[in-house]
A and B are shown apart, each in its own frame.
Chain A
Amino acid sequence: MNLFVSALAAALAFSAYTAVGSLGFSLQYATTNVLNLAYGDLMIVAGYVTYTVHNAGANIFIAAAAGVAATCVASYALSRWLLIPALRRGMSQTAMILLTLGLSIMIEAVINMIWGANSESFGLPAEPFLRAGSFSWTSEDFASVVCAIVLLAATYVLLEMTSLGRQMRAIASNKELATTCGVAADRVTTASWVISGLLCGIAGVLLSAETVSFNAVTGFTFTVVIVAAAFVGGIGQMGGAVIGALVVGFVSQFAAAYSNPAYVDVFAFGLLALVLLVRPRGIISDIASQRELVA
């Protein structure tokens, strides 16, 4: 029972920051049609910038804001000067994936050049912030859950209740039609690069705070979880990203708690493999079948 309760606490926190990450990933893919493999690396950039600013003596919240801003700017810059021009040149989907992969390797190399290959950690207080029996949350866990709830609500409001959100959804479901109807695709796509960069940065800061110590490849490795969550839920759907993160988070954390804690990614992937065999378009599916991702 104690194990169950502590696993529940871990699963909630893990699902929370996974949801933020996979929401950004999913949103980015839906609106820009780029399957961005450098997403995890951009996440960890936020972690490193936060670490540096925090070490320079700044408050952890200010440091986190700086980290998120850095990733957001990086996401915008990459889209503005590399990815959008590449799409405009008529680069195929496969070439675009390879392009983001080259980018991911370069980001990792640059991180290693600047910060060295050692693992870093924020050095936040280790004692539980919230405790009830065996249910215990550190301050990072608590921050993850709060951030996730706030960001999910904000994204929901953005997508469902604002004009920009409506245009983003229009572009996600049919870009040509949306453009014909007068949606300024350029502006909306730029906005979605910035918004997904924001989510990516916040997820990155949370991930770096939650892992014992992070290094240049932590973000890339976390891609497994992000992808599992996004695809299990159904890519391109806000609900899909959240449900996927919850399912993947709970299954992997509980399975890991009852077997070997090192196997979180393994169970996340196992779940993805299972979903691929049974229902390849994910739990909630629109875009996966529309874009012919699956037959």
Chain B
Amino acid sequence: MSYYASILLTYFFIDVVAALGLDFQVGLSGILNFGFILFQAIGAYTVAVLTLGPPANWLGTQTYFAGWSVPFPVAFILAILVGVALSFLVGMLVLRRLRASYQAIVLLSLMLVCYDIVISTPSLFNGTTGLGSIPHPLQSTLGLSFTGYQWAYTLFCGVLAAVVFVLVRTVYRSPFGRLLAASREGEVASEALGHNVFRMRMVAMMVGGGLAALSGAMLVGSVAAWSPNSWSFFETIIYFAAIMLGGVGNGFGTLLGVAVLQIGIMEGVTYLPQFGPPGFMDYVQQAVIGLALIAVLWLRPQGILPERRPRLLGARQSPWRPSSQPAASGAIASESL
């Protein structure tokens, strides 16, 4: 039980780090990053190939490229750097001339394509099977009992999550955070005031990508395995549903959303009586997440804990709120005719 509790807590902390990264991009900056899970995956894979040692050690049971035995903190830091670098490249592609909806669909395609590449190129990260037996960070050095190590890792993740939370909250309330929010509300106006929206969004993209990669590194440290199953597109939607449910643009909403969806629904379902054929519950879960996303958008698009509006901007319309006026739609006009 204690073991299970520590696992749940670890997942919570890791998901908080990831969801804060996504909220930084989506909630604060208005970049609909549907490729988010790709950045978590790159962090996880980076740690895996950096700590697994040369592939020859595995006598053909798993294949991957490169393969080093880098000490623990270095692997994590390199994972973050790789995540940031990838975000930069992706940002160069999508942030320069495309608007939000177009960006979203291109990022989605990018993620699906990378998924395809990883699956059909086993020499990269062992294809569909994925990588396993990835060493837990410092497990042998610390010399703790199994449960003891588990709790130590939970504590480590908790500290990281707390640090990230405080940093992200600080940025949200800093002048830079307000500029990002302003450019989300009115891109043209913000540019007219002389702010380089592209550069600001690029920073947001890189921060979010770095946090996603960190969360991937933390996940690999916990579960010691990583395969395409761990980063299907569905995982991105869970994160989106979580931040939308909790409320975007403020860190507390993200905490709440992760607690409810990631832990409550994704993990809590395992306690329910199973019914239907094997795997049926997974689909029920998937349908519930989809339904939750639709319900939030329909009933309370600002989320349970809405972003606090700066008073001067209070009258402006946020992309996450329904406008007070009916949309400029001919549908209504023609009905009244």
Contacts and interface: CB of A to CB of B under 8 A. Distances in A.
Q: Do A and B come from one complex?
A: yes
Contacts of B294: 82, 99, 102-103, 106
B286 A265 contact: no
A185 interface: yes
Interface in A141-175: 171, 175
B109 A223 contact: yes
B109 A269 contact: yes
B268 to A, nearest CB: 17
Nearest to A108: B286
A37 B108 contact: yes
Interface of A, secondary structure class, is helix
Q: How many interface residues does chain A have, given as a range?
A: 35 or more
A187 B30 CA distance: 33
Interface in B110-162: 110, 112-113, 116-117, 120
A223 B112 contact: yes
A6 B233 CA distance: 33
Which of A97, A101, A189, A277 lies at the interface centre, i.e. has the most chain B CB atoms within 10 A of its CB? A101
Nearest to A261: B120
Contact of B329 (A88, A98, A269): A88
Contacts of A95: 297, 301, 319-320
A97 B316 CA distance: 21
Contacts of A224: 109, 112-113
A77 interface: no
Contacts of B99: 292-295
Contacts of A276: 93-94, 97-98, 106
Contact of A272 (B106, B297, B328, B333): B106
Interface residues of B, number: 64
B101 A88 contact: no
A200 interface: no
A211 to B, nearest CB: 14
Contacts of A277: 93
Nearest to A99: B297
Interface stretch (A12-20, A65-73, A109-117): A109-117
A87 interface: yes
B293 A88 contact: no
Interface in A99-130: 99, 101-106, 108-110, 112-113, 116-117
A110 B287 contact: yes
B30 A101 contact: no
A185 B98 CA distance: 28
A83 B273 CA distance: 35
Nearest to A104: B290
A86 interface: yes
B65 to A, nearest CB: 16
A106 B116 contact: no
Given A102-B294, A276-B106, A87 B322 contact: no
A260 B240 CA distance: 34
Interface stretch (A45-53, A55-63, A176-184): A176-184
Given A90-B327, A224-B112, A227-B105, A186 B334 contact: yes
Given A86-B298, A99-B294, A106-B287, A185 B329 contact: yes
A280 interface: yes
B332 interface: yes
B286 A176 contact: no
Interface string B75-98: 000000000000000000110111
A254 interface: no
A266 interface: yes
Interface in B297-328: 297-298, 301, 319-328
A62 B322 CA distance: 44
B113 A266 contact: yes
A247 interface: no
A193 interface: no
B3 interface: no
Contact of B244 (A98, A109, A117, A273): A98
Interface stretch (B14-22, B52-60, B170-178, B276-284): B276-284
21 contacts: A88-B327, A90-B324, A90-B325, A91-B327, A92-B322, A93-B101, A97-B105, A98-B240, A109-B286, A112-B286, A175-B328, A224-B109, A227-B108, A227-B109, A263-B116, A266-B113, A269-B113, A276-B93, A293-B98, A294-B97, A295-B97
